[in-house]
Structure 1
Amino acid sequence: MPVFPKISLRPEVENYLKEGFVNNEVVSASGKAAAERKFEALLNHLSHPPSFTTVRVNTHLASVQHVKELLLDELQQVWQFNGLSVPVLQHPDLQDVLLIPVIGPRKNIKRQQCEAVVGAQCGSAVLRGAHVYTPGIVSASSFMKAGDVISVYSDIKGKCKKGAREFDGTKIFLGNGISTLSRKEIFSGLPRLRGIGIRMTEPIYLSPSFDNVLPSYLFLQNLPSAVVTHVLNPQPGEKILDLCAAPGGKTTHIAALMHDQGEVIALDKIANKVEKIKQNALLLGLNSIKAFCFDGTKALKLDEIEDTEGTPPFSPESFDRILLDAPCSGMGQRPNMACTWTLKEVTSYQPLQRKLFPVAVQLLKPGGTLVYSTCTVTLEENEEQVAWALSTFPCLQLQPQEPQIGGEGMMGAGLSGEQLRQLQRFDPSTTPLRDTDLETLRDARAEDMIRLANKDCIGFFIAKFLKWKSTSEKDPQK
């Protein structure tokens, strides 16, 4: 049963999403009432965290079994799991992925008189296992001092004024923690006080914090994001492009699966995000990655005379595989209790995706693989983009995916049944929201937990294409 209200959206955005999920094709197949129920279930799921925390093992530096043993030792020492026996599962189809069940929601936590209110983004991080860092705190009780037990709330609509002493607006209880600072210190603005402001001791959802936990061996990553790179199936010695790469989770996964043999080019147009890619590559001991601050829409070299010496832009048909993990509306991220975006903002991504797609197609070698993915649930950015790509680029063929963990694509874009089965749509609404406690974990079978992890994750979409002929072939009629 839901413990939080469904995700709060602007009415025009909710109507837009509903039109996509209750479209004519879906209604004809399952009926309007069933389609509407599924859509409402999705909105409820989006405000709740997934049932599992997912981490990817950096197999370049250590074996999965070794890291799993290290992780179990770490978890026994972490405060949340002190005295608890929580399993760590290796995913059978994604051998480098480990799953840790999330316990919750916990319903008997006593609320404290002393309160702190955090921003929505900080609140979402707390629900995924993070502590509260000082910059995320927007309000604190006037009498709050270091060492106090604090009830933490999320201001999901962004209405609380920074520095307020109390807040009576819409707020969601996240659990209790212990303040490491006084109210005065929290709002002093001093750089030295920008660390953990509240250490969560009784969160509503209990999951491990991965702050500085085996940082060279583990990468915190949503399950579908790990699936993407396995679908791309990079091979040692290949030249691979990650067109929109920050913060580098999939980039480093590509390099690890290639055994760090070959060349992985990572592009992002924001400089500090490119630095993050480089930092992650260094931390994980990966040398095959070259990251550039560059606009992916301009990554195709138009002037053959210009010599860029291995830097962007690149010559046509110079990559064996390309990942286009496109900028998107992010409407599949969880937990997300409120999205304040306008309809114009939500719908602004399809045109950008269609600028990136032709660049990816032209940079890909004949016989090469292009994987397109998003972390959103909209029909417009997913199945409609696949239909558009197939009609716009005759050189592309949709391919079956391995591993196939998500469900098939959603009807509504005019794709055939066979084409929909070749897509992967991760839709959390396909499984009921459920409570997980220690007794449940003791009685659960591993295969049932894996099945739940595959379904109760973020909303995500993956399409895989083969470029079966060159885009440089001249039309004999011209």
Structure 2
Amino acid sequence: MRYPKSPFVGNPGLEGEILKVNTAGLAPLLEWLCLTPRVTTYRVNTRRTCVEECKRTVVDKLAAIYGQKAPKVYALSRLTDVLCIDPLDDENIRPDPGLREVIVDTTCGAALLRGAHIYAPGVLAMESNTQVNEMVNVFADLSGKCKRGSTARYDSSQKIFVGQGRTLMQRYQLFNNSDKPATGVAVEMQSNVSGVPVLGDLSNSDILLQNLPSIVCVHVLAPQPGERVLDMCAAPGNKTSHIAEIMNDVGSVVALDSSASRVRNMRPRLCSYQSITTHVFDSTKAAAADLLPTPSTLSDPPFPRASFDRILLDAPCSGLGNRPQLSSNIKRPKILQSYPHVQRRLFAQAVELLRPDGILVYSTCTVTEAECECIVAWALKKFPELRLVDATPRWGGSGLSLPDLDVSKSRLLQRFGPGTFDGDGFETVGFFIAKFQKVA
């Protein structure tokens, strides 16, 4: 699909930051960021079930919705806990002029293009007299100017058609001004213009909707049963649970996050894992240089130096790898430039907490050079006890080479971005992975 205008155009500072990662020019990267990854991936909890069992369940679900047009569902030979769903054949879906319209925000619009339904908080406007079980055209408001609760048809050149759905709620339920905002699915999508199957989210204790690079990231960390592992920025906990599953829930997985609400939300999903403990804590202060390892100091943060065998630093970042990007309203250059400062502070703590011979994986869901390869180059110069090792299993492409990060080192990195494809030939979101070992 094509959008009326890239959300990044007209922001020279932002364009300059993004341009650093694409030597072929700015336009191809901006177009790539605005397009939807068309393959859907689920991670299978192999401690509870197997990929083949989950595949049968998903195949039956798709057959019930699409019949003979159901897309292909398949496993990956090199990642034995991943289930993939191909896109539908393009049907050239267009808005039906006879249908009423629903307007959603850009966050909701991006989710719809990846196969989601519309939840009540994402609805900005619904035309008057729209009834339950009525088919509607769904548009995303790129400008952010649609007034919430509008009853008239929203006339704007900066709205894009994303698909069609069937309403499950009426206006009075969505915009009632009560102390308890409406929740649940407001519009059940029937089709979208990206061709991604509309399944909502099939996640449960057996399978989890997750981007392929995020799954690869934990396989690169390769935690072993019995080890002590730290997830420094754990919320929403998807990688945390994956770590515990790979360890067969044997050992210790410590999950930190600075947000009390995010930790509170992820705890119910992690409570079935005996190896996981969660803490509300700022990981920029996680290392306590004056503490000696004792049973009590290893239970709560801050922790003594060299406390962990493996550390995952999935750092806070600009999120410019998330696709499709329908809005850049929080991607101002000054905000972009603030992330590397936090990333370096977290990284320094991780190095202190890592044991000799231990493994540190640094990852981001962005594509900017400053938050990816530049952090690696800085780390190798700042911490001589670290050496870069190959980020395998490899599904993305190599990293970018810099004046202080030669080609031999950049090939050890793993970057998912424009022109880099996974091992089966399909595109993913943008992502970056670097793997380090601390020299004994």
TM-score when normalising by structure 2: 0.93
Read off the aligned partner of 1:238 and give its amino acid letter: E
Q: Give the aligned partner of residue 125 of structure 2.
A: 139
Cα RMSD after superposing both structures: 2.1
8 Å Cα contact 1:384/1:413 also seen in 2? no
Deviates more, 1:257-266 or 1:158-167: 158-167
Distance 1:214 1:457, change over 3 A: closer
Give the CA deviation at 1:110.
4.1
Give the CA deviation at 1:452.
2.3
The alignment partner of 1:194 has SS state of coil
**Separation in structure 2 between the aligned mates of residue 6 and residue 45 of structure 1, nearest angstrom:** 13
**Separation in structure 2 between the aligned mates of residue 348 and residue 104 of structure 1, nearest angstrom:** 42
Give the CA deviation at 1:141.
1.3
Number of residue pairs matched?
432
Give the CA deviation at 1:105.
5.0
- Of 212, 224, 227, the residue aligned with 2:216 is 227
Distance 1:159 1:146, change over 3 A: same
- Of 307, 310, 316, the residue aligned with 2:299 is 310
- Of 46, 67, 91, the residue aligned with 1:106 is 91
1:102-125 CA-to-partner distances (Å, cap 9, x unmatched) read 226532434244111100001111
Q: Give the aligned partner of residue 7 of structure 2.
A: 8
Read off the aligned partner of 1:92 and give its amino acid letter: S
- Taking the TM superposition and a 5 Å limit, the aligned residue runs for 1:168-179 are 168-169=155-156, 170-179=158-167
**Separation in structure 2 between the aligned mates of residue 214 and residue 226 of structure 1, nearest angstrom:** 15
- Taking the TM superposition and a 5 Å limit, the aligned residue runs for 1:208-227 are 208-209=197-198, 211=200, 213=202, 215-227=204-216
Whether 2:70 is the aligned partner of 1:71: answer no
Read off the aligned partner of 2:163 and give its amino acid letter: G
**Separation in structure 1 between the aligned mates of residue 397 and residue 159 of structure 2, nearest angstrom:** 34
Deviates more, 1:306-315 or 1:376-385: 306-315
Give the CA deviation at 1:168.
1.9
**Separation in structure 1 between the aligned mates of residue 279 and residue 385 of structure 2, nearest angstrom:** 28
Q: Give the aligned partner of residue 333 of structure 2.
A: 343
1:166-188 CA-to-partner distances (Å, cap 9, x unmatched) read 32221010111111222233211
- Taking the TM superposition and a 5 Å limit, the aligned residue runs for 1:115-126 are 115-126=101-112
TM-score when normalising by structure 1: 0.86
8 Å Cα contact 1:323/1:372 also seen in 2? yes
8 Å Cα contact 2:391/2:412 also seen in 1? yes
- Taking the TM superposition and a 5 Å limit, the aligned residue runs for 1:232-251 are 232-251=221-240
**Separation in structure 2 between the aligned mates of residue 212 and residue 344 of structure 1, nearest angstrom:** 35
- Of 54, 62, 69, the residue aligned with 1:84 is 69
More helix by share: 1
1:77-132 CA-to-partner distances (Å, cap 9, x unmatched) read 3x3x3443322111122111111012265324342441111000011111111111
Distance 1:109 1:230, change over 3 A: same
Give the CA deviation at 1:413.
5.0
8 Å Cα contact 1:248/1:276 also seen in 2? no
Whether 2:400 is the aligned partner of 1:410: answer yes
**Separation in structure 2 between the aligned mates of residue 208 and residue 346 of structure 1, nearest angstrom:** 33
Whether 2:287 is the aligned partner of 1:276: answer no
The alignment partner of 1:184 has SS state of helix
Whether 2:330 is the aligned partner of 1:330: answer no
**Separation in structure 2 between the aligned mates of residue 74 and residue 141 of structure 1, nearest angstrom:** 32
Give the CA deviation at 1:147.
2.3
**Separation in structure 1 between the aligned mates of residue 407 and residue 298 of structure 2, nearest angstrom:** 45
8 Å Cα contact 2:4/2:160 also seen in 1? no
Identity of aligned residues (%): 40
Give the CA deviation at 1:161.
1.1
8 Å Cα contact 2:107/2:326 also seen in 1? no
The alignment partner of 1:65 has SS state of helix
Give the CA deviation at 1:287.
1.8
Distance 1:467 1:336, change over 3 A: same
Whether 2:437 is the aligned partner of 1:452: answer no
8 Å Cα contact 1:175/1:202 also seen in 2? yes
Distance 1:414 1:302, change over 3 A: closer
**Separation in structure 2 between the aligned mates of residue 143 and residue 465 of structure 1, nearest angstrom:** 59
